[in-house]
Structure 1
Amino acid sequence: MSHSTPIPNGQRVSIARIEHAINVWRNAQATISDTPEILALDDESRCLADIYGMMIFNGLESIPLDALSEHQLDALTVAEA
């Protein structure tokens, strides 16, 4: 996964979008797992959880989209597709 579209300056991503994307990835993982509870996050959820946790810790409701790493942006974009 790689994003090739430039990110417009000033565009922001909300904590709600990050949370939704994490849940999309977790739900996708749950459908391929035999156990009802997932004890480990997949790579996409994990990378988004890192930024999500930082946002909660710092009391941020949104961050600049360009603050996301390429991996985080890809995980967000694919989850929203």
Structure 2
Amino acid sequence: MVEKPITASRNVVDLSRYRERTTGVRAPALSPRICRHCSAVLLEGEREEECSSAFNSDALRLRWQAAQILRGLV
């Protein structure tokens, strides 16, 4: 099987690149990245592992206890 390279035709305009060139502003991401530990919006270059809530074992233990109480298991 032969792999055919796909190229855009001359009449196709990449709208995001066009807007970035004309206005000089880059379009924001469609959905913000959110930390799974504290639900805060992650900015450019931030990682979830750096979150102060990532290794908060007391909060995890309390959350587990609250879930058990709500389920009526404790």
- TM > 0.5 between the two? no
Q: TM-score, normalised by structure 2?
A: 0.25
Bigger helix fraction: 1
Q: TM-score normalized by structure 1?
A: 0.24
Q: Max radius of gyration: which structure?
A: 2
